Amino acid sequence: MEMLDNLGLQPVVVLINIGFFICVYLFMRKFLFQRVTVQLDARKREFDEGFGHINSTQSYVDELARDYAQKYSVLEKNAYKELQRIVKNANQSKADLLAQTYSSSDDYLKESRIAIVREKNSAITQMRTQIPELTGDVIKKLSNSEIDSSRIIPVTDMLIEKRLAK
């Protein structure tokens, strides 16, 4: 109490102030703090519900991401297999086309060689039939005229040119 006197305070005023403070505290606790606490609890529940919703949405998104990654890897594998199949088919088509081309060119080459041999044989046959005729013509000409060696070669050349022109 001496302390209160030193401060210039009266003990009755201090007790009244303490009582008033306790009344104000109880009043505020009953009407203000309780309402604030209710509001804070409601807000906390809202946050908890929001975070719960966020967590469930996050888990759903994670599940979708895993599903997407799995489907993407399957699609990638299928695309790779399809690409390999296309490349294999293209290479097979290329090989078939080359084989067909080589076969066709070999057939054409054989036919050409056969045609050349046929033409050669035909030319030889023609020459075999024409040479005796030409020789006969030359002998007739020579027998009808005097034998002059300088005329034999030009006459033979003339007859050969005449036959070739036909």
84-133 pLDDT tens trace: 999 999 999 999 999 999 888 888 999 999 999 999 888 888 887 777 77
pLDDT score recorded for residue 79: 95
In the predicted model, what is the mean pLDDT of residues 138-163?
65
Which is more confidently placed, 86 or 35?
A: 86
pLDDT band at 34 (very low <50, low <70, confident <90, very high): confident
Give the chain as a DSSP string.
-HHHHHHT--HHHHHHHHHHHHHHHHHHIIIIIHHHHHHHHHHHHHHHHHHHHHHHHHHHHHHHHHHHHHHHHHHHHHHHHHHHHHHHHHHHHHHHHHHHHHHHHHHHHHHHHHHHHHHHHHHHHHHHHHHHHHHHHHHHHHHHS---HHHHHHHHHHHHHHHHH-
pLDDT score recorded for residue 124: 80
